[in-house]
Amino acid sequence: MDFFNEAHVDAAKELLYKMADDQLIIGHRNSEWTGFGPLLEEDIAFSSMAQDKIGQSEHLYGLLHELGEAEPDTVAFTRNAPQFHCCHLVELPIGEYDFSLIRHFLFDMAEAIRFEMLANSTYEGLAQIARKYKGEIKYHTMHANTWVKQLGTGNEESNTRMQNSLNDSWNLALGIFEPGPHETTLKEAGIFEGEAVLKEKWLELVTPLLEKANLQIPDESTWEPFYGGRTGEHTEHLQPLLDEMTEVYSIDPTADW
């Protein structure tokens, strides 16, 4: 690690925590579809991507461990909701498949760009992870985009369902880009260009794709991002998820798996 000073370490930790927590929580949420998917092949694909997300989060928790945080398992399974830094979008229950697909689309497009931006980060450990998962995330966005296009242009019911889910998810998705306290430090150190740049790139990417899918982005005058997740303020849905996720771990935290 070639961090110049303590401020860079704090900034990197903040970035890693929100990325890893987003991935762990959306990975867990999406895994709730395992065994309930709309068709066998989709069940397998969606479950596999959920596993990918949890794998990615483990890798990022590993980086945090290098920076002095606890072991990945301890970090993932022993914190309560106020210690989590995920955005509200990933916490919500899976709902109907249309919601889960729109969330998968909006989140993974942002993740793909974030990783692309980080591929050239001065934080070499993080840049390596960003490059390593390029192909994996590319498949996730292909999957998301194919489904969104398919259902957006399917029939009236499928289009209406997707449009309603998009309307419900939009401000939640904007919450992904909640500015952090270290934006300037991250940028000056060449670690990450920042949430504002990410949001612009994301809008450029999703706007034409949603148009092609015959879906309308809500009017800009109605945009009100759900902030708070990055600083530990969460929806009522996160703690029950954590309780369920850590139920087995909590029986014996010292068990060797």
Residues that bind other proteins (CB under 8 A): 32, 35-36, 39-42, 44-45, 48, 139, 142-143, 146-147, 150, 244
Task: In angstroms, give the least distance from the CB of 108 to other proteins.
Answer: 14
Least CB distance to other proteins at residue 34 (A): 8
Nearer to other proteins, 103 or 143 (CB): 143
Pseudo-torsion of CA 175, 176, 179, 180, nearest 10°? 120
- Name the minimum Å distance from CB 188 to other proteins: 40
Q: Which is nearer to other proteins, 149 or 230 (CB)?
A: 149
134/223 with CB nearer other proteins: 134
41 or 252: CB nearest other proteins: 41
CB of 59 to other proteins, least distance (A): 19
* Closer to other proteins by Cβ: residue 142 or 203: 142
CB of 229 to other proteins, least distance (A): 23
